[in-house]
């Protein structure tokens, strides 16, 4: 754990490369959850959710982010 760049235990490992994107990512998460019928927990604890629910949400978000990147790379908005 003493290496530079490693995070201490308990800290989040999914820090944003572009922190200013946080609001847009949160919006995307809520839109994805609404489309999939998954309720986002108010306290942020997903321990009561099934792997299928959280996996489908994460997969959908990833798919949507890839679509947005492809559109941006092709010059469409």
pLDDT one-digit tens code per residue, 8-55: 444 556 788 888 888 999 999 999 999 988 888 889 888 888 998 889
Phi, psi of 17 (to 5 degrees): -70, -40
pLDDT at 15: 82
Q: Is the four-CA dihedral 63, 68, 69, 75 of positive or negative sign?
A: positive
pLDDT at 12: 56
Q: Residue 17: how many CB atoms within 10 A of its CB?
A: 5
The residue with tokens 């003493």 is: 2
Q: How far apart, in whole angstroms, are the C-alpha atoms of residue 32 and residue 52?
A: 14
């Amino acid at each position: 754990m003493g290496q530079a760049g490693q995070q201490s235990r308990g800290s989040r490992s999914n820090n944003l490369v572009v922190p200013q994107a946080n609001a847009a990512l949160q919006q995307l998460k809520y839109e994805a959850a609404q489309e999939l019928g998954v309720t986002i927990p108010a306290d942020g604890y997903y321990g009561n959710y099934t792997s299928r629910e959280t996996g489908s949400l994460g997969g959908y978000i990833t798919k949507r982010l890839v679509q947005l990147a492809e559109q941006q790379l092709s010059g469409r908005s």
